[in-house]
């Protein structure tokens, strides 16, 4: 299955603006993010806390619908899904 992703702001520097990753059927959003970060500790620390849980400030959209961080491990992906990943939003 092919999953498309886009990142914004500071995440572009680490993950690229967009791309496609091949995953096996049954892959969850959490599993996708683990593939995206690979073995790179800096990338892992951007998305995951010390327990391997998606950080609370990371915003994830699946096909333009918000995925709560506590649901990433139970949200399956389908061929052609698109994930958008935002870093913390700040400003005024």
What integer best gives the mean pLDDT of the chain?
94
Whether pLDDT at 92 is above 90? no
Whether pLDDT at 90 is above 90:
no
Secondary structure (H, E, C), 54-91: ECCCCEEEECCEEECHHHCCCCECCCCCEEEEECCCCC
Given a cut of 90, is residue 8 above it in pLDDT? yes
| The Cα angle at residue 34 between residues 69 and 57, in degrees rounded to 5 | 30
2-86: CATH number = 3.10.20.30
- pTM of the model as a whole: 0.92
Contact call for residues 58 and 85 (beta carbons, < 8 A) = yes
Contact 23, 3 (CB under 8 A): yes
Closest CA to 74 of 85, 82, 62, 89: 62
Separation between Cα atoms, residue 85 and residue 88, nearest integer Å: 10
- The domain spans of the chain are 2-86
């Amino acid at each position: 299955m092919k999953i498309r992703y886009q990142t914004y702001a500071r995440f572009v520097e680490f993950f690229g603006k967009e791309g496609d990753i091949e995953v096996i059927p049954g892959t969850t959003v959490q599993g996708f993010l683990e593939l995206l970060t690979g073995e790179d500790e800096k990338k892992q620390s951007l998305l995951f806390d010390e327990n391997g849980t998606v950080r609370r400030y990371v915003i994830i959209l699946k096909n333009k619908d918000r995925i709560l961080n506590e649901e990433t491990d139970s949200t399956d992906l389908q061929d052609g899904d698109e994930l958008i990943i935002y870093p913390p939003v700040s400003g005024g």
